[in-house]
Amino acid sequence: MRILDALAMRPLDRPPVWFMRQAGRYLPEYMDLRKAHTFQESVHQPDIAAEITLQPMRRFDLDAAIIFSDIMTPLEGMGIHVDFNPGPSLEPMTLAEVANVPSFQVEKVSFVGEAITEVRASLDSSRAVIGFAGAPFTLLCYLLEGGGSKDFMAARSAIAADPELATRALHRLAEAQGAYLEMQIAAGADVVQLFDSWAGVLSRQGLRDIAFPAAQTALERLAAPTIYFAQAASHGWSDIRSVGATAYGIDWRVPLDVAWDTIGTDVPVQGNLDPAILRSSPAVITTAVEEILAQANGRPGHIFNLGHGINKDTPIANVEAMINAVRS
Protein backbone atom coordinates (compact mmCIF):
# COMPACT_ATOMS: atom_id res chain seq x y z
CA MET A 1 0.00 0.00 0.00
CA ARG A 2 1.32 3.39 -0.98
CA ILE A 3 0.32 5.02 2.32
CA LEU A 4 2.13 2.32 4.32
CA ASP A 5 5.22 2.86 2.17
CA ALA A 6 5.07 6.58 2.92
CA LEU A 7 4.64 5.92 6.65
CA ALA A 8 7.70 3.67 6.51
CA MET A 9 9.54 6.49 4.68
CA ARG A 10 10.20 4.36 1.63
CA PRO A 11 10.91 6.29 -1.62
CA LEU A 12 7.89 6.71 -3.91
CA ASP A 13 7.28 8.20 -7.35
CA ARG A 14 4.52 10.35 -5.81
CA PRO A 15 2.97 10.80 -2.38
CA PRO A 16 -0.22 8.96 -1.45
CA VAL A 17 -3.32 11.15 -1.44
CA TRP A 18 -6.49 11.11 0.64
CA PHE A 19 -8.26 13.92 2.49
CA MET A 20 -10.04 14.45 5.77
CA ARG A 21 -13.86 14.25 5.67
CA GLN A 22 -13.65 12.78 2.17
CA ALA A 23 -16.80 10.76 2.93
CA GLY A 24 -19.54 13.30 3.43
CA ARG A 25 -21.53 16.37 2.56
CA TYR A 26 -19.75 17.62 -0.56
CA LEU A 27 -20.80 14.46 -2.44
CA PRO A 28 -24.28 14.40 -4.02
CA GLU A 29 -24.54 10.64 -3.52
CA TYR A 30 -24.00 11.16 0.21
CA MET A 31 -26.72 13.80 0.37
CA ASP A 32 -29.09 11.48 -1.49
CA LEU A 33 -28.44 8.69 1.01
CA ARG A 34 -28.90 11.03 3.97
CA LYS A 35 -32.42 11.86 2.79
CA ALA A 36 -33.41 8.43 4.07
CA HIS A 37 -31.14 8.17 7.12
CA THR A 38 -30.17 10.49 9.95
CA PHE A 39 -26.51 11.07 10.76
CA GLN A 40 -26.66 8.74 13.75
CA GLU A 41 -28.43 6.04 11.73
CA SER A 42 -25.71 6.34 9.11
CA VAL A 43 -22.96 5.89 11.71
CA HIS A 44 -24.66 3.06 13.61
CA GLN A 45 -25.66 0.86 10.66
CA PRO A 46 -22.48 -0.83 9.36
CA ASP A 47 -23.74 -1.30 5.81
CA ILE A 48 -24.63 2.38 5.50
CA ALA A 49 -21.39 3.58 7.11
CA ALA A 50 -19.44 1.31 4.77
CA GLU A 51 -21.33 2.59 1.74
CA ILE A 52 -20.62 6.21 2.68
CA THR A 53 -16.95 5.36 3.25
CA LEU A 54 -16.70 3.78 -0.20
CA GLN A 55 -18.48 6.57 -2.11
CA PRO A 56 -15.41 8.78 -2.60
CA MET A 57 -13.29 5.71 -3.43
CA ARG A 58 -15.57 4.95 -6.36
CA ARG A 59 -15.55 8.53 -7.60
CA PHE A 60 -11.86 9.41 -7.09
CA ASP A 61 -8.52 7.65 -7.44
CA LEU A 62 -7.58 7.87 -3.77
CA ASP A 63 -5.03 5.81 -1.91
CA ALA A 64 -7.00 5.39 1.32
CA ALA A 65 -10.54 5.32 2.67
CA ILE A 66 -11.29 6.76 6.10
CA ILE A 67 -14.19 5.15 7.90
CA PHE A 68 -17.37 7.23 8.18
CA SER A 69 -18.01 7.87 11.86
CA ASP A 70 -17.62 10.69 14.39
CA ILE A 71 -15.07 11.52 17.08
CA MET A 72 -17.89 11.47 19.66
CA THR A 73 -18.98 7.92 18.82
CA PRO A 74 -16.74 6.09 21.35
CA LEU A 75 -18.33 8.06 24.19
CA GLU A 76 -21.28 5.67 23.80
CA GLY A 77 -18.94 2.94 25.07
CA MET A 78 -18.70 4.89 28.34
CA GLY A 79 -22.41 5.45 28.71
CA ILE A 80 -22.32 9.10 27.61
CA HIS A 81 -25.23 10.24 25.44
CA VAL A 82 -24.55 12.76 22.66
CA ASP A 83 -27.08 14.49 20.41
CA PHE A 84 -26.27 16.10 17.05
CA ASN A 85 -28.08 19.37 16.24
CA PRO A 86 -26.20 19.25 13.82
CA GLY A 87 -23.03 19.54 15.91
CA PRO A 88 -22.43 17.48 19.07
CA SER A 89 -24.48 18.47 22.11
CA LEU A 90 -24.46 16.86 25.57
CA GLU A 91 -24.97 17.65 29.22
CA PRO A 92 -21.81 19.41 30.46
CA MET A 93 -19.75 17.32 32.87
CA THR A 94 -17.26 18.19 35.59
CA LEU A 95 -13.66 16.99 35.63
CA ALA A 96 -14.53 14.65 38.49
CA GLU A 97 -17.38 13.14 36.51
CA VAL A 98 -15.15 12.56 33.49
CA ALA A 99 -12.42 11.04 35.66
CA ASN A 100 -14.98 8.54 36.97
CA VAL A 101 -16.93 7.63 33.85
CA PRO A 102 -17.67 3.91 33.45
CA SER A 103 -14.98 1.76 31.87
CA PHE A 104 -15.09 1.70 28.07
CA GLN A 105 -17.14 -1.20 26.69
CA VAL A 106 -15.98 -1.82 23.15
CA GLU A 107 -18.99 -4.01 22.32
CA LYS A 108 -21.24 -0.94 22.54
CA VAL A 109 -19.51 0.52 19.46
CA SER A 110 -18.83 -2.74 17.61
CA PHE A 111 -20.77 -1.35 14.64
CA VAL A 112 -17.71 0.74 13.78
CA GLY A 113 -15.57 -2.38 13.55
CA GLU A 114 -18.19 -4.12 11.44
CA ALA A 115 -18.20 -1.22 8.98
CA ILE A 116 -14.41 -1.30 8.76
CA THR A 117 -14.43 -5.02 8.06
CA GLU A 118 -16.95 -4.49 5.26
CA VAL A 119 -14.91 -1.66 3.74
CA ARG A 120 -11.69 -3.65 3.93
CA ALA A 121 -13.33 -6.54 2.09
CA SER A 122 -14.61 -4.17 -0.61
CA LEU A 123 -11.30 -2.46 -1.43
CA ASP A 124 -8.38 -3.90 -3.35
CA SER A 125 -5.18 -4.56 -1.43
CA SER A 126 -3.39 -1.49 -2.80
CA ARG A 127 -5.67 0.92 -0.96
CA ALA A 128 -5.66 1.40 2.79
CA VAL A 129 -8.46 1.69 5.32
CA ILE A 130 -7.99 4.39 7.93
CA GLY A 131 -9.66 4.24 11.32
CA PHE A 132 -9.80 7.20 13.66
CA ALA A 133 -10.66 8.58 17.07
CA GLY A 134 -10.83 11.92 18.81
CA ALA A 135 -7.84 12.77 20.96
CA PRO A 136 -8.40 12.81 24.73
CA PHE A 137 -7.97 16.57 25.10
CA THR A 138 -10.44 17.36 22.32
CA LEU A 139 -13.03 14.99 23.79
CA LEU A 140 -12.50 16.52 27.22
CA CYS A 141 -13.22 19.95 25.75
CA TYR A 142 -16.59 18.80 24.44
CA LEU A 143 -17.46 16.98 27.65
CA LEU A 144 -16.72 19.95 29.90
CA GLU A 145 -18.27 22.53 27.57
CA GLY A 146 -21.32 20.50 26.54
CA GLY A 147 -20.69 21.08 22.85
CA GLY A 148 -18.61 23.12 20.46
CA SER A 149 -16.99 26.44 21.28
CA LYS A 150 -14.64 28.98 19.72
CA ASP A 151 -12.26 29.02 22.68
CA PHE A 152 -13.44 26.30 25.11
CA MET A 153 -13.12 28.72 27.98
CA ALA A 154 -14.99 26.49 30.44
CA ALA A 155 -12.74 23.54 29.67
CA ARG A 156 -9.54 25.55 29.88
CA SER A 157 -10.63 27.13 33.16
CA ALA A 158 -11.44 23.77 34.71
CA ILE A 159 -8.10 22.31 33.63
CA ALA A 160 -6.19 25.31 34.99
CA ALA A 161 -8.03 25.12 38.32
CA ASP A 162 -7.23 21.45 38.93
CA PRO A 163 -4.52 20.07 36.61
CA GLU A 164 -4.13 16.90 38.66
CA LEU A 165 -7.79 16.00 38.26
CA ALA A 166 -7.62 16.99 34.59
CA THR A 167 -4.76 14.53 34.12
CA ARG A 168 -6.87 11.78 35.69
CA ALA A 169 -9.80 12.62 33.40
CA LEU A 170 -7.56 12.66 30.33
CA HIS A 171 -6.03 9.32 31.28
CA ARG A 172 -9.51 7.81 31.52
CA LEU A 173 -10.35 9.08 28.04
CA ALA A 174 -6.96 8.03 26.65
CA GLU A 175 -7.40 4.46 27.84
CA ALA A 176 -10.81 4.35 26.16
CA GLN A 177 -9.54 5.81 22.89
CA GLY A 178 -6.67 3.35 22.81
CA ALA A 179 -9.08 0.44 23.20
CA TYR A 180 -11.37 1.93 20.57
CA LEU A 181 -8.51 2.22 18.07
CA GLU A 182 -7.33 -1.31 18.90
CA MET A 183 -10.79 -2.59 17.96
CA GLN A 184 -10.61 -0.76 14.62
CA ILE A 185 -7.20 -2.24 13.83
CA ALA A 186 -8.44 -5.73 14.69
CA ALA A 187 -11.40 -5.15 12.37
CA GLY A 188 -9.14 -4.33 9.42
CA ALA A 189 -7.90 -0.73 9.67
CA ASP A 190 -4.40 -0.47 8.21
CA VAL A 191 -3.70 2.95 9.75
CA VAL A 192 -5.40 4.99 12.48
CA GLN A 193 -5.50 8.75 12.98
CA LEU A 194 -6.01 10.62 16.24
CA PHE A 195 -7.77 13.97 15.74
CA ASP A 196 -6.86 16.65 18.28
CA SER A 197 -9.12 19.24 16.70
CA TRP A 198 -8.93 21.73 19.59
CA ALA A 199 -5.36 21.28 20.77
CA GLY A 200 -4.54 24.72 19.40
CA VAL A 201 -6.47 26.49 22.17
CA LEU A 202 -3.75 25.44 24.61
CA SER A 203 -0.49 27.23 25.26
CA ARG A 204 2.79 25.55 24.36
CA GLN A 205 3.10 24.40 27.96
CA GLY A 206 -0.47 23.14 27.88
CA LEU A 207 0.27 21.10 24.80
CA ARG A 208 3.41 19.69 26.38
CA ASP A 209 1.82 18.95 29.75
CA ILE A 210 -1.81 18.19 28.90
CA ALA A 211 -2.63 17.29 25.28
CA PHE A 212 0.50 15.48 24.12
CA PRO A 213 0.88 13.08 27.07
CA ALA A 214 -2.78 12.08 26.80
CA ALA A 215 -2.40 11.44 23.06
CA GLN A 216 0.71 9.40 23.73
CA THR A 217 -1.20 7.21 26.17
CA ALA A 218 -3.94 6.61 23.59
CA LEU A 219 -1.48 5.57 20.89
CA GLU A 220 1.25 3.70 22.78
CA ARG A 221 -0.52 0.33 22.79
CA LEU A 222 -1.33 0.16 19.08
CA ALA A 223 0.20 -2.36 16.67
CA ALA A 224 -0.39 -0.35 13.49
CA PRO A 225 0.91 2.92 12.02
CA THR A 226 -0.57 6.03 13.64
CA ILE A 227 -1.09 9.67 12.59
CA TYR A 228 -1.59 12.48 15.10
CA PHE A 229 -3.28 15.64 13.83
CA ALA A 230 -3.30 18.61 16.20
CA GLN A 231 -4.96 21.55 14.48
CA ALA A 232 -3.52 25.07 14.94
CA ALA A 233 -0.82 23.71 17.26
CA SER A 234 2.31 24.81 15.39
CA HIS A 235 3.54 26.52 18.59
CA GLY A 236 3.98 23.03 20.02
CA TRP A 237 5.64 21.29 17.08
CA SER A 238 9.06 21.28 18.70
CA ASP A 239 7.55 19.04 21.42
CA ILE A 240 5.06 17.03 19.37
CA ARG A 241 7.33 14.04 18.85
CA SER A 242 6.67 13.14 22.49
CA VAL A 243 3.31 11.79 21.30
CA GLY A 244 5.15 8.91 19.66
CA ALA A 245 2.97 8.74 16.54
CA THR A 246 4.27 7.29 13.30
CA ALA A 247 3.41 10.52 11.44
CA TYR A 248 2.07 14.00 12.14
CA GLY A 249 -0.64 15.92 10.32
CA ILE A 250 0.02 19.56 9.41
CA ASP A 251 -2.67 22.20 9.01
CA TRP A 252 -2.52 24.87 6.29
CA ARG A 253 -1.21 27.73 8.41
CA VAL A 254 2.52 26.97 8.05
CA PRO A 255 4.36 25.90 4.86
CA LEU A 256 4.97 22.17 4.65
CA ASP A 257 8.77 22.44 4.52
CA VAL A 258 8.90 24.74 7.55
CA ALA A 259 6.63 22.40 9.51
CA TRP A 260 8.61 19.32 8.50
CA ASP A 261 11.93 20.90 9.44
CA THR A 262 10.50 21.88 12.83
CA ILE A 263 8.99 18.49 13.62
CA GLY A 264 11.93 16.57 12.15
CA THR A 265 12.64 15.30 8.66
CA ASP A 266 13.18 11.76 9.96
CA VAL A 267 9.44 11.35 10.60
CA PRO A 268 6.58 11.28 8.05
CA VAL A 269 4.20 14.22 7.74
CA GLN A 270 0.74 14.64 6.24
CA GLY A 271 -0.74 17.73 4.61
CA ASN A 272 -1.38 20.48 3.96
CA LEU A 273 -3.50 22.19 1.26
CA ASP A 274 -5.84 24.89 2.61
CA PRO A 275 -9.41 23.54 2.14
CA ALA A 276 -10.47 27.03 1.03
CA ILE A 277 -8.31 26.68 -2.10
CA LEU A 278 -10.55 23.82 -3.21
CA ARG A 279 -13.31 26.39 -3.69
CA SER A 280 -11.27 28.41 -6.20
CA SER A 281 -10.48 26.99 -9.67
CA PRO A 282 -8.62 23.96 -11.08
CA ALA A 283 -5.76 26.18 -12.25
CA VAL A 284 -5.29 27.76 -8.81
CA ILE A 285 -5.56 24.35 -7.16
CA THR A 286 -2.95 22.82 -9.45
CA THR A 287 -0.51 25.62 -8.69
CA ALA A 288 -1.09 25.29 -4.93
CA VAL A 289 -0.58 21.52 -5.05
CA GLU A 290 2.63 21.95 -7.04
CA GLU A 291 3.92 24.41 -4.43
CA ILE A 292 3.34 21.89 -1.64
CA LEU A 293 5.00 19.11 -3.62
CA ALA A 294 7.95 21.42 -4.27
CA GLN A 295 8.22 22.07 -0.53
CA ALA A 296 8.25 18.32 0.08
CA ASN A 297 11.02 18.15 -2.52
CA GLY A 298 10.59 14.44 -3.12
CA ARG A 299 11.58 13.51 0.43
CA PRO A 300 10.23 10.11 1.53
CA GLY A 301 7.46 10.22 4.09
CA HIS A 302 5.00 12.76 2.67
CA ILE A 303 1.27 11.98 2.57
CA PHE A 304 -0.70 14.56 0.61
CA ASN A 305 -3.84 15.78 2.37
CA LEU A 306 -5.78 18.91 3.18
CA GLY A 307 -4.85 21.05 6.16
CA HIS A 308 -8.28 20.25 7.66
CA GLY A 309 -11.56 18.68 6.50
CA ILE A 310 -13.04 19.42 3.10
CA ASN A 311 -15.70 22.13 2.97
CA LYS A 312 -19.21 20.96 2.10
CA ASP A 313 -19.52 23.46 -0.78
CA THR A 314 -16.41 22.21 -2.61
CA PRO A 315 -17.03 21.49 -6.33
CA ILE A 316 -16.37 17.90 -7.40
CA ALA A 317 -14.27 19.08 -10.37
CA ASN A 318 -11.93 20.88 -8.00
CA VAL A 319 -11.38 17.73 -5.94
CA GLU A 320 -10.52 15.92 -9.15
CA ALA A 321 -8.09 18.70 -10.08
CA MET A 322 -6.30 18.32 -6.74
CA ILE A 323 -5.98 14.55 -7.04
CA ASN A 324 -4.84 14.75 -10.66
CA ALA A 325 -2.20 17.33 -9.74
CA VAL A 326 -0.80 15.03 -7.05
CA ARG A 327 -0.88 11.93 -9.24
CA SER A 328 0.72 13.64 -12.24
Reported as a single tens digit per residue, the pLDDT across 158-174 is 999 999 999 999 999 99
Percent of the chain with pLDDT over 70: 100
For residue 11, being part of any structural domain is answered with no
pLDDT at residue 86 is higher than 80? no
Secondary structure class of 217 (helix, strand, coil): helix
pLDDT digits (tens, 9 = 90+) for 273-318: 999 999 999 999 999 999 999 999 999 999 999 999 999 999 999 9
For residue 218, being part of any structural domain is answered with yes
Cα atoms in the 13 Å half-sphere on the side-chain side of 67: 35
Question: How much is the pLDDT for 146?
Answer: 85
Residues 6+ positions from 175 with CB-CB distance below 8 Å: 104, 217, 218
Cβ atoms of 89 and 146 within 8 Å: the answer is yes
* Three-class DSSP labels, 92-156: CCCHHHHHCCCCCCHHHHHHHHHHHHHHHHHCCCCCEEEEEEECHHHHHHHHHHCECCCCCHHHH
Dmax over CA atoms of the chain, in Å, equals 53
Secondary structure class of 22 (helix, strand, coil): coil
Nearest by Cα to 317 from 25, 19, 59: 59
Question: How much is the pLDDT for 9?
Answer: 98
For residue 20, being part of any structural domain is answered with no
For residue 6, being part of any structural domain is answered with no
Backbone angles phi, psi at 251, to 5 degrees: -80, -175
Torsional sign, CA 178, 181, 187, 189: negative
Question: How much is the pLDDT for 129?
Answer: 98
Domain harbouring 63, CATH code: 3.20.20.210
For residue 289, being part of any structural domain is answered with no
Burial (Cβ within 10 Å: 0-12, 13-18, ≥19) of residue 132: buried
For residue 190, being part of any structural domain is answered with yes
Domain extent, residue 171, equals: 30-263
For residue 9, being part of any structural domain is answered with no
| Number of domain units in the chain | 1
pLDDT at residue 85 is higher than 80? no
pLDDT digits (tens, 9 = 90+) for 187-240: 999 999 999 999 999 999 999 999 999 999 999 999 999 999 999 999 999 999
Cβ atoms of 297 and 257 within 8 Å: the answer is yes
Q: For 252, which DSSP code?
A: T
Alpha-carbon span 90 to 310, nearest angstrom: 25
Put residue 65 in one of left, alpha, beta given phi > 0 → left and psi -120 to 50 → alpha: beta
Question: How much is the pLDDT for 301?
Answer: 98
Backbone angles phi, psi at 7, to 5 degrees: -70, -25
b/e 250-272 (16+ beta carbons within 10 angstroms → b): bbbebebbebbeebeeebbbbbb
Residue 54 banded pLDDT, cuts 50, 70, 90: very high
Average pLDDT, the chain: 96
For residue 269, being part of any structural domain is answered with no
Percent of the chain with pLDDT over 90: 93
Instruction: State the catalytic residues.
Output: 21, 25, 34, 70, 142
Alpha-carbon span 72 to 82, nearest angstrom: 7
Cα atoms in the 13 Å half-sphere on the side-chain side of 138: 24
Cβ atoms of 194 and 177 within 8 Å: the answer is yes
